[in-house]
């Protein structure tokens, strides 16, 4: 299987679901996963904070499961894309 898309409710629960999703993807031979930016829309969770959490937790999970080669974030606005891109750049600088 090439890839899976995962949706989970709430940022705090999403970290756990994202980690588990990447683990399951690895166990099932998936090389790619995709995650939406949960709770940053109608629930008004700050997209800046969500981006930092999502990038850090996904990066850690991918490091634990190197057979999963790629994680994508499905974002719903240009603003969210810019915030996630900035969070990724910040994460890469800190690494």
In the predicted structure, residue 11 carries a pLDDT above the cut 70: no
Q: Per the structure, how many domains does the chain have?
A: 1
Residue with tokens 């969770």: 45
How high is the pLDDT of residue 41?
A: 73
CA distance linking residue 50 with residue 65, whole number of Å: 22
Contact call for residues 18 and 29 (beta carbons, < 8 A): no
User: Closest Cα partner for 47 from 56, 58, 38, 60?
Assistant: 38
Percent of the chain scored above 70 by pLDDT? Answer: 83
CATH assignment at residue 52: 3.40.220.10
Q: Which domain holds residue 47?
A: 3-94
Confidence (pTM): 0.82
């Amino acid at each position: 299987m090439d890839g899976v898309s995962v949706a989970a409710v709430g940022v705090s629960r999403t970290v756990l679901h994202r980690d588990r999703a990447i683990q399951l993807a690895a166990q099932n031979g998936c090389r790619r996963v995709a995650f939406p930016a949960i709770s940053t829309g109608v629930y008004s969770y700050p997209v800046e904070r969500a981006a930092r959490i999502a990038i850090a937790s996904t990066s850690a999970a991918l490091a634990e499961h190197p057979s999963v080669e790629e994680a994508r974030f499905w974002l719903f606005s240009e603003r969210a894309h810019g915030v996630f891109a900035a969070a990724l750049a910040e994460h890469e600088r800190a690494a």
